[in-house]
Amino acid sequence: MTTRPTPHARWHRAASLAIGTLAFAAACGAELPTSAELQGMDVAAAEKRAFVAAPNLTAARYVVDGKDVSEQEAKAIAANRIATIEIRKRDRTSSEVRITTQAVTASGGEVKTVRIVQGGPLDGPVAEKAPFDGLLIVDGVKTDPAKMNSIDPKTIVNVEVIKGAAAEKVYGPEGAKGVIRITTRK
C-alpha cells in the first residue's frame, strides 16, 4: 500500500521549493508568485513556475560607437576594427557591452582597452572610484600620495593592506579607513 502524502506534507514540499524559487527569483528581479498563489500550488506547478521565472541570464545590450545594435551585429565586428570594449554589469540580468571602433590601422590594429565595470549605472557615465583616503605608511612613516609616488617600485619589499578592526587597533582612529603599509629596501 502506498502512502499518499498528507495535504500538509505536500504543502511543505511545495513551500520549501517555492522559497528556493523566491530567493532565486528575488536575486534575478523576476516576477514573484503571490502567497495566495503559493498556497494553491502543487509541486509540479511550483517547479514550472521556477522554470518560467528563470530569466535569460545571457541577455545584454550591445552598443557600438554609441548606437544600439543586435548581438549578431556586435559580434560581426572584425577584431582589428575594435578600439575599446567596455562591459558594464549591474547585476546578473542586466549588462551592457560598449564597443568603440577605429579605422583599420596599417599594423592591423588591436584591442587597446577592455574595461569591465560591475555595479555601475547602465545609463550615464560610470562614476569614478573614490580615491583611497586611508592611511599610507612607508617604512613605518605616515606619508602622502606624492611621497608614495616617488618610491622606486623596484625597492618595495613588502606591501600590506590592513583593514577594519586590525587597522584601528594598530593605528587608532586614523586607521579606520584602512591602511596601506609599504616596506622598502635601503
Residues near other proteins, by CB under 8 A: 132, 137-142, 145, 147-161, 170-171, 180, 183-186
User: Closest distance between other proteins and the C-beta of residue 116, in Å?
Assistant: 15
**Helix, strand, coil fractions of the chain, as percent rounded to 5:** 35, 25, 35
Q: Contact 162/178 with Cβ under 8 angstroms?
A: yes
User: Closest distance between other proteins and the C-beta of residue 148, in Å?
Assistant: 6
CB closer to other proteins out of 14 and 137: 137
CB closer to other proteins out of 47 and 174: 174
User: Closest distance between other proteins and the C-beta of residue 186, in Å?
Assistant: 6
User: Closest distance between other proteins and the C-beta of residue 172, in Å?
Assistant: 10
**Amino acid (one-letter) located at 85:** I
What whole-number distance in Å separates Cα of residue 138 and Cα of residue 122? Answer: 39
User: Closest distance between other proteins and the C-beta of residue 111, in Å?
Assistant: 20
Q: Report residue 46 CA to chain centroid gap.
A: 30
Q: Which three cell numbers stand for residue 183?
A: 616596506
CB closer to other proteins out of 140 and 173: 140
Q: Contact 94/123 with Cβ under 8 angstroms?
A: no
CB closer to other proteins out of 2 and 150: 150
CB closer to other proteins out of 66 and 153: 153
What whole-number distance in Å separates Cα of residue 10 and Cα of residue 130? Answer: 52
137-148: b (≥16 Cβ within 10 Å) or e:
bbeeeebeeeee
